[in-house]
Structure 1
Amino acid sequence: MSGSDPALPDEVLAEAAEWFATLGDEPVSEAERQRWRAWLAASESHRRAWRRLADLDRRLGTLPAAPARRALSAAGRSRRRFLKGGAGLAVLAASGGLAWSRAPLWRADLRTTVGEIREQPLPDGGRLWLNTDTAVDLDYSADHRRLRLLAGEVLIETAADPRPFTVLTAAGAARPLGTRFGVRLTDTGTRVAVWSGRVALAPADAPGRGAVVAAGQQRHFDARHCAAATPLAGHGGAGWERGMLVADDRPLGEFLEELSRYRRGVIHCDPDAAGLRLVGSFPLADTGRVLRSLPEALPVDVTFLTPWWVSVSRAG
């Protein structure tokens, strides 16, 4: 922790984790929400602890330790079990106990913060776009070009060059052949989307089980196998590199999960609203504006409980 963010007492972090569990356990009564608001307003340390837990919940989506994310999400299934196990993990992480999982990212050659999108020329004349909360290392030598994706998502336009180009992740390697393609880390591996050319995938533990992703396709792979290819939506890119989040008849819950990558805090979507279908293009530079505009497109209510906790429910 930096000097500007002094350590919080464990009991305050534990209280924040308990409220995190309570509000994640549906249904939540209005009386319970009022008690939470009173707790939040009672102390600056309460608000700092809440911000830290909300930010942790968002960042766990990019940590390699998927069990940690599942521990936090277990709040909705068992408040008591969460407080004995998951909350302890949350407090540990918020106190810095999981700092080793993020520390290498701060030393990355290139990185973006939450909500930031960056275009970067590559040493060979190619182009690289870094999506929100992304970190990469570059390794260019006389005989190779390598990009290691440590967190997040990138879009790449390769340049003509005799040296082989490789994108490395924990799942394995992606080797493009004159392409425009994207690589994204997921909780279970890596997803590769190709808009032009081809990309060869080689799982880290089973390179012989590799596969090729053709233009207009995407594939997910992990360290042992490659999933079947599926059609790729969009033409020429993912949309985010232009600062837009595109919804082409997309379920609202899926859209909000994607939007949450671009803001700190939590966006909660009630199950009865999650299946509503959304169409449109939305500017990522102002996620609050996007959220406030949803009732114009769908029968939903959007409630900002705090600047970092937003609830979306079906209207009426």
Structure 2
Amino acid sequence: MNRLPAASDQALDERVLDEALHWIVTLQSGTSDAAEQHACQQWRNENPQHELAWQRLAGLSRDMRINTYALSAPNARQLLRARSTPSRRTLLKGFAGLGVVTALGLSVRERVLLPELFSDYHTTTGERRHLRLADAGALQLDTRTAVDIRGADMALNLGRLLLSSGTSGMTAIKTTNGWVRPTALSRLIISQGLPRQQGTEVQLLLGSASVEPLHGVGIRLSAGQQLTFDSHHSGQPASVPSTAEAWTQGLLIAERMPLIEVVEQLDRYRRGMLRCDPAIAGLQVSGSFSLDRPEDSLGLLAKVLPVRVQRVFGYLAMVVPA
């Protein structure tokens, strides 16, 4: 029997997270009145997703709760004014202007826990995004990806990106495991936090790059090489597969890939939850599947394999034996 994920594993709508953050700031500012407290409770009771978002944000940091109470009323109002705009960067500037970013713990830990909320740029489920860089370079973000950009440097907080570095060769990309420093006019894919991925993966398509674990010895990559590294070690370089860039075109190319891995990749592009019955997880899959149309891809799987797709209210889908 399959065990469904606990509520804490559920993906939350971006709008719901925004509303939860508004209520967290309002009630923990020390300036809220009984009417606002009642309205917040009503909002939490309206929908289980509201309560889940509230619990997640309220539990991010004990320091956040303690220190927000210390805000004076004028400062709290300033923070709320910053929150009233649609920009997350503006919200964080509101925190920074009050000098409470460090006190609230809104730093690396929160960017890991809620990267889409606290990063400069992010993509939602099923979205890919192109960005132009100041040095004539370019960046493509995969679905569910979050990055910060500070001048020539950037931080990949979650997901996958394709970087075409500019002419200056000064770009450096930080992940939780260390740094990747490509030379000018290089082209590379960097990912972390993908299904079944341990550490950070670097796939160098063009040029050269150095990989520097936080606490380990660096290594140099040449075009056509890839490796995975953690905070202490770098793996051995291997050849970049010919399908490495398929996701940039909205495709998943499977070559004798276990069904569970195909399902996990499609799950990243599908709203809701997509799961695979362990009894069929090891079925070998070969073919081309659309990431932009995951439901069509599920239909194709059901045609070529002895499986079927069970759906519950369009949100939960289970790939099970036919």
TM-score under structure 1 length normalisation = 0.65
Distance 1:107 1:95 in 2: 12
The answer to whether structure 1 residue 210 and structure 2 residue 218 are counterparts is yes
- Partner residue, 1:24: 3
Pick from 235, 244, 247 the counterpart of residue 227 of structure 1.
Answer: 235
**Secondary structure, counterpart of 1:227 in structure 2:** coil
Distance 2:179 2:140 in 1: 19
- Partner residue, 1:249: 256
Aligned AA (1:108): S
**Secondary structure, counterpart of 2:143 in structure 1:** coil
* Mapping 1:31-46, distance limit 5 Å: none
**Secondary structure, counterpart of 2:301 in structure 1:** helix
**Secondary structure, counterpart of 2:317 in structure 1:** strand
TM-score under structure 2 length normalisation = 0.64
Unaligned runs of 5+ in 2: 13-51, 62-109
For the Cα contact (< 8 Å) 2:2–2:277, is it kept in 1?
no
| 1:35-89 Cα distance to aligned partner (Å, 9 max, x none) | xxxxxxxxxxxxxx96x75327xxxxxxxxxxxxxxxxxxxxxxxxxxxxxxxxx
Unaligned runs of 5+ in 1: 1-21, 26-48, 57-89
- Partner residue, 1:97: 59
Between stretches 237-246 and 145-154, larger displacement belongs to 237-246
Distance 1:220 1:103 in 2: 24
- Partner residue, 1:168: 174
Identity of aligned residues (%): 32
Shift in Å at residue 190 of structure 1?
Answer: 0.9
Aligned AA (1:232): V
Aligned length: 230
Q: 1:306 to 1:229 in 2, by over 3 A?
A: farther
Shift in Å at residue 139 of structure 1?
Answer: 1.8
Aligned AA (1:304): R
Distance 1:269 1:108 in 2: 31
- Partner residue, 1:55: 11
Shift in Å at residue 173 of structure 1?
Answer: 0.4
Shift in Å at residue 244 of structure 1?
Answer: 1.4
Aligned AA (2:176): A
Shift in Å at residue 113 of structure 1?
Answer: 0.9
Shift in Å at residue 94 of structure 1?
Answer: 4.5
Structure index of larger Rg = 2
- Partner residue, 2:186: 179
Q: 1:301 to 1:149 in 2, by over 3 A?
A: same
Q: 1:149 to 1:53 in 2, by over 3 A?
A: closer
- Partner residue, 1:32: none
Shift in Å at residue 102 of structure 1?
Answer: 3.8
The answer to whether structure 1 residue 126 and structure 2 residue 133 are counterparts is no
Shift in Å at residue 202 of structure 1?
Answer: 0.5
* Mapping 1:61-76, distance limit 5 Å: none
- Partner residue, 2:311: 304
- Partner residue, 2:297: 290
Aligned AA (2:175): T
